[in-house]
């Protein structure tokens, strides 16, 4: 007999989500750097300094900045990922538990519409709290290596030049992009329910969780990508060299402004610049995170059961 996952409090899901999110990002961080650089690139394909594809990006970053260039902003991004994972899964599990009690007929499953709404609401709460950390991480990750500064100096620069609102750059597209995790987790939960139907166990295997997560994240990324690109560009600040070459054409005021200017300069293809790398990165990260989280959740349940006063009365799940 195993301990039901529903008995784990929201903080348990949050701990599991934070740990799995951070570990997944750490494993693929260079890919995250590459996709972010590709998303904000303004050089034409004919420019020899342009990053033409992921392999070319790795080569040029290593040549110009060393291996450390692939890990630019790692500290800020890891902090962001831990807080992001904790807040999102805490909000998600709390809201989902309430939804199960109030809208579910069987107390075990939700409709797709409710599942998506739960994910979107959790995403909004998460973005409001964690967006400033994401802005700092993006600035560090995309800054020219001669202009890159520590996180505290980056925050100071943002506050001095843009005010407090600068820390929430890209807020509107970030709110719209709450549909991304909503779609991801909505699809994942539906696939998971289908895979576990008529089975005695409550957990997916690592392989099942990986492929279900990959499918869910691919679909979500394709649907929302133009706004993912717009959000990154709003959080990015071009270097002096880029400003000299492009002027106000690469200074953006809103997601609509980003989409309009990119469309004018690069066509529809510009909206999807770096999407291949984004999908690879997002799918691997999400799939790894969901795969790791299934294992983490089981361990957290064991820990909570052992620490609980009721541990003698509730059996600890076996491996």
Distance, C-alpha 163 to centroid of its chain: 25
A 10 A CB-CB count for 236 gives 24
Task: State residue 309's pLDDT score.
Answer: 58
Distances (CA, A) of 19 to 168, 214, 269, 317: 25, 19, 36, 20
Tokens representing residue 195 in the block: 């895979």
State the pLDDT at residue 134: 87
Distance between CA atoms of residues 89 and 172, nearest Å = 22
Taking a C-beta distance cutoff of 8 angstroms, is the pair 236, 142 a contact?
Answer: yes
13 and 209 Cβ atoms separated by less than 8 Å:
no
- CB-based contacts of 295, cutoff 8 Å, min separation 6: 206
Neighbours of 194 (CB within 10 A): 9
Per-residue pLDDT of the chain (319 residues; tens, 9 = 90+): 344 555 667 787 788 888 888 888 888 899 889 988 888 887 777 778 888 888 898 999 999 999 999 998 888 888 888 888 888 888 888 888 888 888 766 666 777 778 778 888 888 888 888 889 889 988 888 888 778 888 889 999 999 998 998 899 888 888 888 878 778 877 888 888 888 886 677 778 878 888 888 888 888 888 889 998 999 999 888 888 888 888 888 888 889 999 999 999 888 888 988 888 888 887 787 778 777 877 777 777 777 777 765 555 555 555 4
Find out whether 115 and 190 touch, Cβ atoms under 8 Å.
yes
What is the reported pLDDT for 105? 67
pLDDT at 106 (0 to 100): 64
State residue 50's pLDDT score: 83
5-307: CATH class: mainly alpha
If we measure between CA atoms, which residue out of 133, 158, 149, 145 comes closest to residue 76?
Answer: 133
**First-to-last C-alpha distance (Å) of the chain:** 11
pLDDT of the residue at 3 = 47
Please state the domain extents for the chain: 5-307
For the record, the structure tokens of 248 come out as 């106000």
Give the separation between CA 39 and CA 273, rounded to whole angstroms.
Answer: 6
Q: What is the largest CA-CA distance in the chain?
A: 70
CA atoms within 13 A on the CB side of 2: 16
Q: Alpha helices, DSSP H only, in 206-267? A: 206-235, 240-246, 255-266
């Amino acid at each position: 007999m195993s301990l039901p996952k529903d008995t784990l409090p929201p903080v348990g899901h949050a701990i599991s989500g934070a740990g799995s999110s951070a570990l997944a990002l750490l494993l693929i961080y260079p890919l995250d750097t590459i996709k972010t650089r590709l998303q904000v690139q303004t050089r034409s394909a004919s420019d020899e300094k342009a990053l033409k594809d992921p392999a070319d990006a790795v080569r040029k970053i290593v040549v110009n900045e060393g291996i450390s260039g692939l890990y630019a902003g790692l500290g800020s991004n890891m902090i962001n990922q831990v807080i992001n994972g904790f807040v999102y899964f805490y909000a998600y599990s709390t809201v989902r538990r309430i939804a199960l009690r109030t809208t579910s007929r069987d107390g075990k499953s939700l409709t797709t519409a409710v599942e998506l709404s739960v994910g979107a609401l959790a995403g909004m709460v998460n973005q409001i709290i964690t967006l400033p950390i994401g802005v700092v991480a993006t600035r560090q990750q995309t800054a020219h290596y001669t202009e890159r500064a520590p996180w505290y100096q980056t925050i100071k620069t943002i506050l001095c030049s843009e005010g407090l609102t600068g820390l929430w750059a890209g807020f509107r597209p970030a709110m719209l992009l709450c549909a991304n995790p909503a779609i991801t987790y909505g699809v994942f939960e539906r696939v998971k329910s289908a895979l576990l139907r008529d089975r005695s166990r409550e957990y997916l295997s690592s392989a099942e969780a990986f492929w279900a997560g990959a499918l869910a994240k691919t679909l979500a990324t394709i649907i929302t990508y133009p706004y993912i690109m717009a959000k990154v560009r709003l959080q990015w600040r071009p270097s002096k060299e880029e400003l000299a070459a492009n002027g106000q054409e690469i200074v953006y005021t809103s997601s609509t402004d980003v989409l309009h200017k990119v469309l004018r300069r690069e066509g529809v293809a510009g909206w999807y610049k770096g999407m291949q790398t984004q999908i690879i990165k997002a799918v691997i990260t999400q799939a790894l995170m969901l795969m790791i989280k299934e294992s983490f959740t089981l361990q957290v349940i064991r820990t909570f059961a052992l620490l609980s006063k009721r541990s003698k009365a509730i059996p600890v799940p076996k491996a």
